Amino acid sequence: MSASAPSSAVVTRFAPSPTGFLHIGGARTALFNYLFARHHGGSFRLRIEDTDRARSTDAAIAAILDGMGWLGLDHDDEIVYQFSRAARHAEVAHALLEAGHAYRCYATAEELEAMRAQQRAEKRPLRYDGRWRDRSDGPEGAPFVIRLKAPQTGEVTIDDKVQGPVTVANAELDDMVLLRSDGTPTYMLAVVVDDHDMGVTHVIRGDDHLNNAFRQLALIRAMNEVEGEWPEPIYAHIPLIHGADGAKLSKRHGALGVDAYRDQLGLLPEALENYLLRLGWGHGDDEVISRAQAIEWFSLEAVGRSPSRFDMKKLESVNGHYIRATGDARLTTLIQPKVESALARPLAPQDIELLQRSMAELKKRAPDLNSLAASALFYLRTRPIPMDEAALRLLASAPSGLLVRARAALAAVSPWVVPDLEAAARELATAEQLKLGAVAQPLRAALTGAGQSPGLFEVMEALGRDETLGRIDDAIAQTHETTSA
């Protein structure tokens, strides 16, 4: 199970723990790992850190896979499930133990808690005091953990590709637990062993792991002495994403799963990717960056060192851009389920065709797929269509008889195309001594049931002659009812 890839090849990995959805920060970490690997022609691996049996769920694994699939972050090779490698982790811990780089610690949880309480009381740093470090007189048969015998003097420097050189004194680090008393590996052990065995060359992760890196390095160095061939990976700790208020993004704080960005917010995956990429990374003045360009341009050196805040407005703007750039057929497919659910009926082929024809107009005004779907509804509603307040007001304030005369003028139009329809409307406006808007707004209300919509004449053309005239008839009838009532 040792590294099979050539040592020159870049190997990165994304290693989420399946305790919940794939959140926005994780998605960005995955993206950076993906881009870095692709940029260097290396491989991007996925490891599920499911050693916490109590909190790991299959549903979370599915959600993570689903999210990565949606974002198009395809990983190489098979997925590594960390829990399945527990035996190998223990093997490494025991190798360290035999070589004298680790030791058995028999301190109980209560004992350690008392130790920390005293350290707290004395306002000293909280860390394991090494009470079993140089002892071998442990009680027979008593439970013990295996701790790393870490260097206690000197200092370690990590040349982090994002943070720059970071130095910590070894005295600050205590002897971490490698193997729990029940024989299961801790996270620290598992990560290091798995990264080594998977041939990971570059560890790109959130900077909440920066402190861990020093302890992990100590473990790697110890194994390198025991076995050799345990190269130190190159580290890159990327800053976390904060919420709009500057606080860390948490589950109750705007950190939604990527599925929510897709389903609830109606985002396009390429929009989220583009936004995430620009959060903490820049390439000159470039804002809209394709996957191919991202792969070509991505570098760790260009990743910023400060945390960035999540800005929904900008995400929406990016999303709107991508919607406008997306083909009508794809957009139609994407909103079809949303439209069907709103209309409570399946769409017929002619409905879909109508949607597709209207898409060019609709997509210019939609920041997300949900509003795109909502804005398309009026095309497909069956007569008489519902009117919102603005529409009702427009119809009520229209000059008496205007709709009737407009209907007559439009009925005479042939062919039923935008320029001719508009010409007819302008002619009528002139005859009525009205501005075009005064004619258009009541018609818009009649045809769309709203005070705002895509271009009126484009709507007429898309709706077709019969439906257009029919909806005007409905409005005329309704106006009569209202006035006579």
3-state SS string for 421-480: HHHHHHHHHHHHCCCHHHHHHHHHHHHHCCCCCCCHHHHHHHHCHHHHHHHHHHHHHHHH
Q: To the nearest whole angstrom, how small is the minimum distance from the Cβ of residue 137 to RNA?
A: 17
C-alpha angle 90/95/96, rounded to 5°? 100
Q: To the nearest whole angstrom, how small is the minimum distance from the Cβ of residue 449 to RNA?
A: 12
Question: Of 73 and 456, which CB lies nearer to RNA in the complex structure?
Answer: 456
Neighbours of 164 (CB within 10 A): 9
Question: Of 7 and 299, which CB lies nearer to RNA in the complex structure?
Answer: 299
Tokens of 458: 């484009």
Q: In whole angstroms, what is the distance from residue 218 CA to residue 147 CA? A: 12
Q: Are 46 and 76 in contact (CB under 8 A)?
A: no
Question: Of 78 and 301, which CB lies nearer to RNA in the complex structure?
Answer: 301
Q: In whole angstroms, what is the distance from residue 104 CA to residue 19 CA? A: 30
Q: To the nearest whole angstrom, how small is the minimum distance from the Cβ of residue 305 to RNA?
A: 3
Q: To the nearest whole angstrom, how small is the minimum distance from the Cβ of residue 198 to RNA?
A: 15
Question: Of 141 and 228, which CB lies nearer to RNA in the complex structure?
Answer: 141
Helix, strand, or coil (residue 250): coil
Nearest to 237 by CA among 317, 165, 290: 165
251 carries a ligand binding annotation: yes
Q: At what angle do helices 369-380 and 349-362 cross, to 10 degrees?
A: 120
Q: To the nearest whole angstrom, how small is the minimum distance from the Cβ of residue 8 to RNA?
A: 25
Q: Are 100 and 176 in contact (CB under 8 A)?
A: no
C-alpha angle 282/287/289, rounded to 5°? 90
Question: Of 43 and 453, which CB lies nearer to RNA in the complex structure?
Answer: 453
Q: Supply the residues annotated as catalytic.
A: 251
Tell me if the bond preceding 415 is cis, omega within 30° of 0.
Answer: yes
Helix, strand, or coil (residue 376): helix
Q: Are 275 and 269 in contact (CB under 8 A)?
A: no
Helix, strand, or coil (residue 208): helix
Question: Of 42 and 454, which CB lies nearer to RNA in the complex structure?
Answer: 454
Q: In whole angstroms, what is the distance from residue 180 CA to residue 178 CA? A: 7
Q: To the nearest whole angstrom, how small is the minimum distance from the Cβ of residue 98 to RNA?
A: 20
Neighbours of 265 (CB within 10 A): 18
Report the binding-site residues for ATP.
251
